[in-house]
Structure 1
Amino acid sequence: MMAESLSSLTQTWLQWDQDPTTRAEIEKLRDSNATEELEKRLRNRIEFGTAGLRGRMAAGFSCMNSLTVIQASQGLAKFIRDKRSEIAASGVVIGHDARHNSARFAALAANAFIAQRIPVWFFKEEGPTPLVPFGVNHFRAAAGIMVTASHVGYKVYSSNGAQINRPEDGEIAQSILENLEPWPTAWAELQPSEYLRADSYQNLLPHYGKRVEEFTKTTVTDWQPPRPFVYTPLHGVGGLVLPNVCNSIGIHDFVSVTAQEKPDPDFPTVKFPNPEESGALNLAIQTADQEEKTLIIANDPDADRFAVAEKVGYVNLTSPPYSSLMCFHLDSETWYTMSGNHVGVLLASHILDSYDSGNDCSNLAVLTTTVSSSMLAKMAAAKGIQFTETLTGFKWMANVARDLEKEGKTVVFSYEEALGYMFPSVCYDKDGITAATVFLAAEAKWRAQGLTAYGKLQKLFTEFGHHETLNNYFRSPDPQLTSTLFQGIRGSSCLAEMKFGPFKILRWRDLTEGYDSSTPDKKPDLPEDPSSQMLTLWLDGGVRFTFRGSGTEPKVKFYIESCGESREDAVTAVCDAFLAIQEHWVQRFTPSMTYSKQLPTSSGHVLDLG
């Protein structure tokens, strides 16, 4: 079959698109004969996967825009009507955050379901992502949709409150392809209807707040408020919910960052509104210093992620290893921003400590992903609690949690290193609101024990070994470059000889090709995925790292972890592993790949390769 001509693709777009802004974009490209850009915009469709749609916001079939949202919604609506007809009458929850076009995309999505006579639990108000999966379970809905700032996305939840996963995502993707042409009411303004539940958000919010409060207080025996703190929602929707939840729990002594407390899709005070990014908390730190507060908590713009910074003191620091390559950027009385792994093990410790160690905990389970710290596994083993590792992303962790529940397990906590934390007692996705209240409850408990959060973390390191991480990426603008790199690695001698730079390879796992050197049948214990690139190596000296191609960004990511008796030993091992990756893999097979010249480890050491 001959490929459709570019002029035909352009004509189809202009025939279907009724959004004046995106129509004008394509018309301008057509009139200026910008064929290369039109090819990028129109030739390939935005992929429905990773639990929904992700992409940059622009005109064209390959991007996030009104038309592609309509098409995805029509496909999902027909899938539910035809393949899930027994639960279609339960309706679909649709929410959105405060980014540009979120409210419009949510309304256009609602039209598709109403056209199929599927009720819509519609959130007129902008709100946090976790309210949608919470709402799916509360309303016993057939599905949920969240239009979110995270990677500019359209997240889809199944009837179990978890993000959709295989094979459901493939079936929905096929239904989308079968329903591309907008239906007669697709572009209409959202109107009152017997199928539109327009007051759903305000009805749901008190139930969510009560659930968060109840769960938070189950984690402590003697509830007390935390120390005074500063909060920033980074111009997102967390500021609309978390302060009220805190007040209802009895947490009143906090200050919000004034310039960032209201939603603003332009994010005027930060370069990139992600609390993982360097500098994102600068204004919060200024506020905390002015207010003489020593604790900062933050949400990302859709409030499904949570971050912590604490003012700590260092005295007589040991000179770090690799003095020619590294520096230590923390001084006495300075702000320490915790990594996702740090916050994850702190929350886990608090929750696990709420279970009496004298009781049988074998029915309990905790989860984390293959790129997160191995420390949680040790903490679970010490309590006799089941630990399960999953692939990256909460679509995996949430669905694995649901499967474990069917086996009679109670999953009490789950997290991933990218500042995401799940509490199944509240909802089956990462939840930055609940993470904040649970952390504050834990902070108050530790303070009563004479510990700061940082002090508690060091105590955990003493008990389970100092775990150091270095998570970053190489830039790979061309998917073929990523493929070349992984082909070179698989064809090299290091895996066959079980030797990697200065390290001996103890085990390696290839989830792309479904191989694990440690199992009797050489099959991995995690699902293989031929559509992605992912290798994990276990090395002598307590080092493990994962190397994977990103499914949403032009990057090859690496996640290195070591466990040593001291911070210095662990840092040394992490840096050795990175230098081996750089020398033996990247420079050998894809020398054109670039990377950040300064790579901070989780404790604040910086591997400076400038």
Structure 2
Amino acid sequence: MASQKSIHELAEEWLSLDRNPETRKEIEDLLEGNNIAELERRLRRRIQFGTAGLRAKLQAGFSRMNDLTVLQASQGLAVYVAQTVPDAYEKGIVIGHDHRHHSCDFARLTACAFITKGFKVHFYDKLVHTPLVPFGVEALGAACGVMITASHNPGPDNGYKVYWSNGCQIIPPHDEGIAACIEQNLTPWVWDKHLVNGSPLVGRPLELVADQYYRVLGNLVQGTSINRGMRFVYTPMHGVGLPYAIRAAALIGAERDTNMFTVAEQAHPDPDFSTVKFPNPEEHGALDLAMKTSDGLGISLVLANDPDADRFSAAVKGADGKWMQLTGNELGILFAYFIFQTESDKSKIALLNSTASSQILRSFSDIEGFYYEETLTGFKWLGNRALELEKQGYKVPFAFEEAIGYMFHGLHDKDGIGAMLMFIKLLCWIEENISGNSMTRAQGIILCLEEIYSKYGYFEDKNSYYVSLDPAVTAGIFRSIRTMNPSESGEYRYPETVGSRNVTYWRDLTVGYDSSTPDNVPLLPVSKGSEMITCILDNSVRVTIRGSGTEPKLKVYVEAKSASREKSKQLAEQVWDDLEREWFKPRETGLLRP
């Protein structure tokens, strides 16, 4: 919510609270230069605490990531956890950080806020990949966890990711409760980053937690040994993943510089991400250097993590010399099919994916008879739902989201290192059961996908996004979609067509409408604070659009089902063009294509 104070009052408030000389000077310089517009951007609105925690540019100001906003968030979180989790002080908090600018400082400030209130602090004093924080919360029985990371955002950003006592990302009402406690605890209790060094409340359990984590990964790949001729190039995308990937690969006998080779320019932590504009393996061109490295070594397989190593991507080179990067949905259904085929007891398993992900998993479940559910986007929903199903007696061996996020049995958040290991196991299984040794890995994967599509339907997607630099533009686009077919009575009306296709299903999880339920109330949770619409056209094309909670993006997911991959792909492309012309109108709205 925007403050009603004058901009000079907000600047004085900032200067009265901030004790970091660098960020104080930023505001002082803006005042001296009378840069009112920039002061407004920095100070008018407070950084929003949501279900992903915090994420923003590293700058001075209430709307940015800096020492003060991290302290304020930590103080509010400490108060809320103490009020909500039994024995919270003794259970304590797990705190980890990656290599981004100021990540270590933010982790130390977070620890100091909790120490000051008397919490036990489980402090990871080395760079860690994000999955070790939620895993550590579960393993240590902690009350909550915080990971300082901005995942795959550009270098100038950082973030603050919160996990609840069950090892999952927070969901409502915890996000609102924490936000309220932050507002009530804005004056810093402590500024001493070195308090973490000598406090008897601080433990350093990283080695213990890592050992338990690798035992879980070892159970996932038990009995698997890498084909000695299998070689791959790995990139951690300038992030923290390399030491964790090396130790994981060793679980199946993969040796560095024999089986596993790295992209030298991207192998070590670099907070400026010097070789990629966006350090996200999904982004066009992000794997170019890894492919070039592979070409030079005569290797046809690339495996990649994002900088905090909770996401995973893969690319294979075919016999024609062309690289094929697998989409998030293709990886998801490959994993699901492989895991289902190799499960010894299929009677009580459940597989999950998010509503923005491929519907082939639903078709798969309809034919094979296992339990399937879709959740809202984000592993906060997938992880929490998996825990609920496990309490009901289900085994949840796998869940995925199309944004290259994968969760496996024994874990309750996405894990890029675990996914890397399971992908190698998947390749070994494809060679033994589908393709044999006579085919390239690309041919084997294509053959496996064809086997899946021939059984469960040909689904093809076209997923991308528009850059929307102004939240008001995004809100305006959703508003225009909702008012395309106005009703004189004021009842909710949705568009009847998109292009030449009829809308056969409509769900709006912002206003709370679902055309398929008797009372038009959605089965999935409604959130008025986030934009999300899903519709189906002619019972064959599913469209989901949503505003990103962490980036200035309007995300668009189109998936078509038809009699062949080619027809499905063509259908998805046609609907994308219709949506751009009728809904998004980038020339008029100012939306930018990547």
TM range, smaller chain: over 0.9
Structure 2 counterpart of 1:493, from 482, 485, 493:
485
The unaligned stretches of length 5 or more in structure 2 are: 436-443, 487-492
Letter in 1 for 2:243: L
Q: Distance in 2 between matches of 1:148 and 1:497?
A: 40
In the alignment, is the contact (CA less than 8 A) between 1:474 and 1:593 conserved in 2? no
5 Å matches for 1:549-568? 549-568=547-566
Instruction: Specify whether residues 186 and 15 from structure 1 end up closer, same or farther in structure 2 by C-alpha distance, changes over 3 A only.
Output: farther
Q: State the partner residue of 1:607.
A: none
Question: In structure 2, what is the Cα distance between the partners aligned to 1:86 and 1:119?
Answer: 11
Which residue pairs with 2:406 in the alignment? 421
Within 1, Cα distance between the matches of 2:495 and 2:28? 57
Structure 1 residue 271, shift from structure 2 partner: 2.0
Q: Deviations over 1:168-218 (max 9, x none)?
A: 111111111111111145555532211101x3212221221121111222x
User: Once structures 1 and 2 are overlaid, which stretch shifts more, 24-33 or 10-19?
Assistant: 10-19
* Structure 1 residue corresponding to 2:210, chosen from 205, 208, 217: 205
The answer to whether the 8 Å contact 2:88/2:119 transfers is no
Q: Counterpart amino acid of 2:369?
A: G
Pick which of 176-185 and 134-143 moved more. Answer: 176-185
Return the offset for 1:71.
0.7
Deviates more, 1:431-440 or 1:561-570: 561-570
The correspondence for 1:513, drawn from 511, 521, 526, is: 511
Output the CA distance in 2 between the equivalents of 1:523 and 1:170: 23
- State the Cα distance separating 1:480 from its structure 2 match: 2.4
SS of structure 1 residue aligned to 2:317: strand
Q: 1:454 aligns with which of 421, 446, 449?
A: 446
Matches within 5 A, 1:334-483: 334-356=322-344, 361-425=346-410, 427-451=411-435, 452-483=444-475
Map Cα deviations across residues 537-575 of structure 1 (whole Å, 9 max, x no partner). Answer: 111262101122223333322100011221221122111
1:368-387 Cα deviation digits (max 9, x unpaired): 11110001112233332111
Confirm or deny: 8 A CA contact 1:532 1:551 kept in the other structure: yes
Distance 1:384 1:552, change over 3 A: same
The corresponding residue for 1:323 is none
Aligned to 1:320: none
Work out which of the residue numbers 294, 302, 317 in structure 1 matches 2:308: 302
CA contact (8 A) 2:46 2:63 kept: yes
Q: How does 1:160-309 map to 2 (within 5 A)?
A: 160-185=166-191, 187-197=193-203, 199-217=204-222, 223-225=225-227, 227-252=230-255, 253-309=259-315
How many angstroms apart in 2 are the aligned matches of 1:553 and 1:185? 30
Contact 2:3 2:45 in 1 (8 A): no
Q: State the percentage of identical aligned residues.
A: 42
Which residue of structure 2 lines up, in the alignment, with residue 88 of structure 1? 89
Mapped to 1, the partners of 2:584 and 2:495 lie a distance apart of 19
Once residues 476 and 284 of structure 1 are traced to their aligned partners in structure 2, the CA distance between those partners, rounded to angstroms, is 30
Tell me the CA shift for residue 459 of structure 1: 2.3
Query: Counterpart amino acid of 1:472?
Result: S
Per-residue CA deviations over 1:350-383 (Å, capped at 9, x if unaligned) read 1111124xx5x34211111111000111223333
CA distance in 1, matches of 2:291, 2:495: 49
CA contact (8 A) 2:484 2:495 kept: no
Counterpart of 2:31 in structure 1 is 30
Task: Give the root-mean-square deviation of aligned CA atoms.
Answer: 2.0
Could you say what secondary structure the match of 2:46 adopts? coil
Match of 1:182, as an amino acid? P
8 Å contact from structure 1 (residues 23, 59) kept in 2: yes
Q: 2:581 aligns with which of 577, 580, 583?
A: 583
Q: Name the count of aligned residue pairs.
A: 570
The runs of 5 or more residues in structure 1 that have no matched partner are: 314-331, 598-610
> Which AA in structure 2 matches 1:447?
E
SS at match of 1:576: helix
Shift of 1:484: 2.2
Counterparts of 2:192 and 2:387 in 1: how far apart (Å)?
Answer: 34
